[in-house]
Amino acid sequence: MAEVWRRFTRNRLATAGAAGVLILVTLAVLAPWVAPRDPLYIDMDHKFARPGQAGFVLGADELGRDVLSRLLHAGRVSLAVGLITALIAVVVGAVLGALAGYYGGALDAVIMRLVDVLLSMPTIFLLLALAAFLKPTMWTITLIIGLNSWMSVARMVRGQVLSLKEQEFVLAARAAGAGAGRLIVRQLMPNAVAPVLVAATLTVATAILLESSLSYLGYGIQPPTASWGNMLNNAQSYVLYAPWVAVYPGAMISLTVLSFNFAGDGLRDALDPRLGP
Amino acid sequence: MNVSRRQLLTGAAALATAGGLRARRASAQAPTPAVMPQKGGQIIVGITQEPQNFNPVMPTIETQRGVHMAIFDDLWRIDGKGNFVPNLALTIPTQSNGGISKDGTLFTVKLRPGVTWHDGQPFTARDVMFTWKTIMNPAVTAFSTVGFDQIADMWAADDTTLKWKMKQPYAPIADILADMFVVPEHVLGRSADINKDEFNTRRPIGTGPFKFVSRAAGDHIMLEANRAYHGPGPYLDRLIFKYVPDLTVLFTQLKTGEIDVTGLQGIPVDLYPEAKTLTSINLYVDPSTSYETIAPNHLLPMFKDKRMRQALYLAMDKKPIVEKIWLGLAPEAESYVPPQSWAYNPKIKGRHRYDPERAKTLLDEMGWKVGADGIRVKDGTRLSFENACTAGNKQREQIQQLLQQQWRQVGVEMKINNKPAAVLFGDFYRMSKFETIVIGMAMGSDPEHSFRLHSKYIPAKGGMGRNSVASESPEIDRLLEAGVRDIDREKRKKAYFRLQEVYADELPYLPIFHYVNIRGTRKGMQGFQPNSNMQEYSWNTNEWWIKKG
């Protein structure tokens, strides 16, 4: 563990990424206390207030709502969607991938064909079809995007399990009497963690962007609740004459995606035993 | 020959509707009759709601009707000034030319000879008769039977002579027939099921200036000129309707030249300041007969009681909507009748008051007590409902959020759940499956509005109309019927004046403001005529042409 930590902290980008993630999550958690105003309060007299005008630190949007407060509260929504989606994707993907890799045969075939079918469907259409049946709330959107993101994790885990299950340490454990479950959890999964972590960080980014696309079509997080995605979509009409409404949520999405990616990459490098000391 | 409505239905002196429907043009582009239209080219009309059904007899939305008006013909159309313009009819029937009998019930219309369908077959009076019979056929889901049900019988005296008999004199019949587009008997008469015929989606055949070529679902509809058209025009080679769901993108495409005309829903008002500065387009700002309203579903127990609707209306502050969102361009609405109409009751102006305290009192009286979370409760039901509007329409989304905040202050919870237009205005709205909706509706050229208000026309109860809020008010029904019984305009006015008073009390809908249409066309396009008397501004595509050079 100490070895991993050391390798991680020596990687500047990774540390910056991790710090970024930490700051973003903290701000999101503390949003209700840190935000200067009510993010939902409409004040038409201050429509499009410029940053710094009338006490609006980052300006106001088309309904006179404080951009900074909305940004902070939106962070909760977007990060929650991103993180929980990644969790769903990782859990479902890892379980199905491990089962497919370990047992092989018919189970493997069924699971992998399911993966193939879902991967071949354009994401947006799949999401729209599901969204037409389920009412768009934060939870249903998270569920939908999560169930759409587990496939690559499954393939990765399956690949790892396949390559590892004939190795000596696994055969030894089996000879010692370990059952399938124990083998999968104790021996095989830990070695699949590295690629899965990277996939998880990418999933966070994709999830935030997918939520934004859903908003554009009317099936995302519903107004007046703010998410970075729907703030960005709302702002596209006003980019030329009220750019602050678009720039800040866009910057937050970029920062989040970068932070998670750097941290994820750093973690993968730190965990990989094949890279030198 | 153009005939004004006064000549058509002789009765007492009628005030011209012409005055209020004057177009105010931001840039001068008045085509002079002496200029010869140049032939050739194509025009792309951008629209934000996708047409899917090309049969003009079936339920429709305005952008779809806009396409029908290019493919099909009707007996006559109404121009921007309120005059009737003959289309398939040779002349407009009047009492003085014998087209209308003395008692106002028997109509004789001579039709243009030599008109052919797009498949080459000859058009006859039987096709018009067939169209009316199809609309009235209970097995066909018609867009409306309002007014058509006042015709006792229609028949073809010969190939070019159409006759029909009204059950009793009915003032709006000419206006209603301006929205009846004729379909071919030789095609649909043989159909197994008109509701599902491929005529509707892939093979519409009309007599209009443009022929249907193809539709790319979700993208565009391509029409080409009908060279055998009886005229005038068409001058263009091709007419394309392009579906652009987002209003901002629509405007951008007008600026870049990807589209030549903004169809419904036009240029959003927050882009109007920018639109005014552009020299590459002609900008049109015209009063409309459309109004924006909240439609509450009366089938829901909480909306059945008019006091609830009154309370919601009292808690609505229209000022920020009209002044900040609509930049003062759109006047407040008290009912469906716009200020420029002859039927407008001036005493109604200013009737709506923003009075949240009175709203709270009314809700208290009804037994809705404020709960712990600030939302009122009665008998275990929270005063909470959903509101839907067309996703992508920024003004509507802003109105929704404003109302949400305003209503919260009196203890009402409104949840937003938006949908794309095609979904919203499908069965969801039509068959009263919604809770509340933000919707724009048009009165059209005549104050007859039974389509939206009369209890006979509730689709969820089997009616063929669009009273989808399921409003059932005996007094409103009575006044609507009185309004059409007399062809004397002064008598009609009495009924409509009273109707507006009752409307302001009963509030079947909660009208917010009257629309102005902000539209743009690319410089060089000629023949475009804003017209709020037809459902869309593509009412005269046969007269559109492009000035080259």
Q: How far apart are CA B313 and CA B505, in angstroms?
A: 10
Nearest to A218 among B270, B392, B398 (CB): B392
What's the pLDDT band for B4 if we cut at 50, 70, 90? low
- Which residues in chain B touch residue A218, judged by CB atoms under 8 angstroms apart? 391-392, 418-420
* Angle, CA of A142, A143 and A145, to the nearest 5°: 65
Enter the tokens of residue A101: 């890799």
Q: Is A163 on the interface with B (CB under 8 A)?
A: no
- Which of A44, A222, A241 shows the shortest C-beta gap to B416? A222
Assess whether pLDDT exceeds 60 at residue B321. yes
pLDDT tens, B410-423?
999 999 988 878 78
A140 touching B (Cβ < 8 Å): no
What's the pLDDT at A274? 62
- Give the pair of three-digit tokens for residue B111: 């039709």
The verdict on a CB contact (< 8 Å) between B417 and A234 is no
Q: What pLDDT shows up at residue B3? A: 53
Higher pLDDT, A14 or B209: B209
Q: Is the dihedral of CA B103, B107, B108, B109 positive or negative?
A: positive
* Mean pLDDT, residues B485-494 taken together: 86
Flag the least confident range among A215-224, A237-246, B136-145, B187-196. A215-224
Compare CB distances from B391 to A47, A218, A238 and report the shortest one's residue: A218
Structure tokens, B538: 């593509």
Answer yes or no: do B394 and A222 touch at CB < 8 A: no
Task: Please judge whether A41 and B394 are an interchain contact, meaning their C-beta atoms are less than 8 angstroms apart.
Answer: no
Question: Beta strand pairing status for B369-370 and B376-378?
Answer: antiparallel
The burial of B24, by beta-carbon neighbours within 10 Å (0-12 exposed, 13-18 middle, 19 or more buried), is given as exposed
Question: DSSP readout, B512-535?
Answer: EEEEEEEEEEETTEE-----TTSS
Average pLDDT over residues B147-173: 94
Give me the mean pLDDT over the B138-167 stretch. Answer: 94
Instruction: Write the pLDDT tens digit of every residue in B360-417.
Output: 999 999 999 999 999 999 999 999 999 999 877 888 989 999 999 999 999 999 999 8
Query: Closest Cα of chain A to B320: distance in Å?
Result: 6
pLDDT in tens, A22-74: 999 999 999 999 999 999 999 999 999 999 988 899 999 999 999 999 999 99
* B328 CA: distance to closest CA in chain A (Å): 14
Answer yes or no: are the C-beta atoms of B78 and B175 closer than 8 Å: yes
C-alpha gyration radius of chain A: 22
Q: What is the ipTM of this complex?
A: 0.70
Rounded distance, CA B496 to CA B478, Å? Answer: 11
CA distance B388 to B380: 24
Q: Which among B235, B244, B324 has a CA at the least distance from the CA of B526?
A: B235
Name every chain A residue with its beta carbon within 8 A of the beta carbon of B404: 224
DSSP 8-state assignment for residue B293: E
Do the bridges between strand B161-166 and strand B106-110 make them parallel or antiparallel, or are there none, so unpaired? antiparallel
Other beta carbons less than 10 A from residue B266's beta carbon = 25
Best interface-test mutation with B: which of A44, A215, A239 has the largest number of B CBs within 10 A?
A44
pLDDT band at B8 (very low <50, low <70, confident <90, very high): low
**Which residues 225-254 of chain A have a CB within 8 Å of chain B?**
234, 236-238, 240-241
Kind and range of the H or E run holding B398 = helix B394-408
- Tell which A residues from 23 to 82 touch B, by Cβ distance under 8 Å: 40-42, 44-45, 47, 62-63
Q: Is the pLDDT of residue B244 over 70?
A: yes
Minimal CA separation from A162 to chain B, in Å: 44
- Which residues are registered as beta bridge partners of B166? B151
* % pLDDT > 90, chain B: 77
For residue A38, what is the nearest residue in chain B, using CA coordinates? B405
B12: pLDDT strictly greater than 60: no
What are the structure tokens assigned to B247, written together? 């209003």
CB pairs < 8 Å spanning A and B: 55
The 10s digit of each residue's pLDDT in A164-190 is: 878 877 788 778 877 777 777 777 777
Interface of B with A (CB under 8 A): 246-248, 268, 270-271, 274, 320, 324-325, 391-392, 394, 397-398, 400-402, 404-405, 415-420, 423
CA distance B113 to B84: 20
Q: Which residue of B has its CA nearest to A234?
A: B394
Residue in chain B nearest A48 by alpha carbon? B324
How many Å lie between the alpha carbon of B416 and the closest alpha carbon of chain A?
A: 6
Chain A neighbors of B415, CB-CB under 8 A: 222
B318, closest residue in chain A (CA to CA): A44
In sequence order, the 6+-apart residues with CB closer than 8 A to the CB of B292 are B330, B333, B396, B399, B438, B439, B440, B511, B512, B513, B515
> A224 and B394: CB-CB below 8 Å?
no
Which whole-number Å values give the CA distances from B299 to B296, B387, B469, in the listed order? 9, 15, 7
Whether residues A222 and B398 touch (CB distance < 8 A) is answered with no
**pLDDT tens sequence across B55-113:** 999 988 889 999 999 999 999 999 988 889 999 999 999 888 889 998 889 999 999 99
| Mean pLDDT of all residues in B33-61 | 90
- What type of residue sits at position B73? D
The whole-number pLDDT of residue B15 equals 31
Taking CB atoms and an 8 Å limit, are B394 and A237 in contact across chains? yes
In chain B, residues with a C-beta closer than 8 Å to the C-beta of A135 are 417
The sign of the torsion formed by the CA atoms of B111, B114, B120, B122 equals: positive
Q: Which residues of A touch B324 (CB under 8 A)?
A: 44-45, 47
Give the minimum alpha-carbon distance from A223 to chain B in angstroms, rounded to a whole number: 6
Q: Which chain A residues touch B268 with a CB distance below 8 Å?
A: 237
Q: Which chain B residue has the Cα nearest residue A240?
A: B274
Q: Which residues of A touch B418 (CB under 8 A)?
A: 218, 222-223
Residue-level length of chain A: 277
3-state helix, strand, coil in chain A (%, to 5): 75, 0, 25
Residue B34 is predicted with a pLDDT of: 64
As a whole-number percent, the residues of chain B with pLDDT over 70 amount to 94
To the nearest whole number, what is the mean pLDDT of chain A?
A: 85
- Identity of residue A24: L
> Is A217 an interface residue toward B (CB < 8 Å)?
yes
Q: Find all residues with CB under 8 Å of A168, minimum gap 6, and list them.
A: none
Query: Which residues lie closer than 8 Å to B490 by C-beta, 6 or more apart?
Result: B12, B13
Place of tokens 């009063």: B287
B419 contact residues in A (CB cutoff 8 A): 218
* pLDDT of the residue at B29: 39
> Looking at residues A149-154, what average pLDDT do you find?
89
Taking CA–CA distances from B406, the nearest residue in chain A reads: A42
Question: Which of A41, A62, A236 has its CB closest to that of B398?
Answer: A62
d(C-alpha B90, C-alpha B93), whole Å: 9
The answer to whether the CB atoms of A63 and B404 lie below 8 A apart is: no
Size of chain B in residues:
549
Q: Which residues of chain B lie closer than 8 angstroms to A219, CB-CB?
A: 391
Residue B10, pLDDT > 70, answer: no
- Contact call for A222 and B268, based on CB within 8 A: no
The chain-wide mean pLDDT, for chain B, equals 90
Q: pLDDT at position A207, please? A: 86
- List the single best residue of B48, B401, B407 to mutate versus A (max A Cβ within 10 A): B401
Q: Which chain A positions have a beta carbon within 8 Å of B247's beta carbon?
A: 237
Percent of chain A at pLDDT above 90? 35
Q: Strand B161-166's sheet: what is its strand order?
A: B106-110, B161-166, B151-158
